[in-house]
Amino acid sequence: MMIHEFLSLKRMPTGRHRFALGLMAELAADQKVEPLSEAIARALKQAEATQEVELAWVKAQNTQSTARGDSAKLDAEIDRQVSAIYQMVQAHTVGDKGDPVVDAAERYLQEFFPGGLRPITHQSYEVELSMLQSMLQRHHAEFSNEAELLGISKGIERLERQLEAFEKELNRQDTTAMTFDKVRAEREALHEATCSVLVTALHHALTLAQTSPAEASRALDTLVAPLRDQQRRVTEARARHRPVSDIDPQSGEELAGEVPDPMVVEDWEPAPQPA
């Protein structure tokens, strides 16, 4: 059982983690909250490791041969299949409010295509594969009934076969090269470490609340303010259906267009459900 399963903390690019955690480290030191300082130190160490792996992955992609076998062909087929699913679902949105099919179509588009097709199909091979695999996992877990209602079950099955072939083709290349699953694993570890920081801050506040609820509330607001600010920025970007750009971990300045971000998969992941 992972801590993040019980929290609704949104996933963020690594620079945003480092920037928020760095500010929180100063605040925890000022308030002499040693357990929180230790948790932040561990998270910052993980953030540095994550960024190293991300940069190694980007470097590997930039130096990799452009010969990708049948990857381009498979990618085009996948794009056409995803487009077909999208168009079929979109066609079902025409109708009366309250109609089960119309409601299911609108819900499906909102969950899986909030920004249309472009955020999915205009990605690198590895990014698109990861996004669609995450989408299908959530589809099977939560939207099987909608698939039957919308008539896209066969299209989903075809997409699954295509993704399996696509993944095999991508992995057919040098198996010793930097692969994206390493980036994904480091990012998951960082997300979990930041969740641990938040839980430690909450524990500190609960301890204070036993003697002074008002002081506990002020302390918590102060300690988690940097993280809350980055979460707000991520939420605002998603609400505008824009990619969540990374930031300079030292200055907090936006890096959109300057530093390539290997992927953004947050929008495809289901919200954690408390047990």
Q: pLDDT (tens digit, 9 = 90+) per residue, 30-82? A: 999 999 999 999 999 999 999 999 888 877 776 554 445 578 889 999 999 99
Whether 209 maps to a domain, the answer reads yes
Q: Is residue 273 part of a domain?
A: no
Q: Is 172 left (phi over 0), alpha (psi -120 to 50) or beta?
A: alpha
Is 222 among the domain residues?
Answer: yes
Decide if 213 is inside a domain. yes
Residue 57 and residue 75 share a domain: no
Kindly state whether residues 146 and 221 are assigned to the same domain.
no
Q: What is the pLDDT of residue 266?
A: 42
Report the length, in residues, of the chain.
Answer: 275
Out of 12-21, 67-76, 252-261, pick the least confident: 252-261
Residue 262 lies in a domain: no
Residue 197 maps to a domain: yes
Same domain (yes/no): 75, 49 = no
Q: Domain count of the chain?
A: 2
Let me know whether 44 and 115 are in one domain. Answer: no
Question: For residues 177 and 244, which has the higher predicted lDDT (pLDDT)?
Answer: 244
Q: Which two tokens stand for residue 253?
A: 């300045």
What is the arithmetic mean of pLDDT over 186-210? 95
Same domain, 221 and 136: no
**Is the domain of 22 the same as that of 112?**
no
60 and 195 belong to one structural domain: yes
What pLDDT digit, counting tens, does each position of 175-191 carry?
Answer: 556 778 889 999 999 99
Which residues constitute the domain of residue 60?
3-64+188-248
User: 80 and 151 share a domain?
Assistant: yes
In a domain, 275, yes or no: no
- The average confidence (pLDDT) of the chain is 86
Kindly tell me the sign of the dihedral angle through the C-alpha atoms of 203, 206, 211, 214.
Answer: positive
pLDDT digits (tens, 9 = 90+) for 95-110: 888 899 999 999 999 9
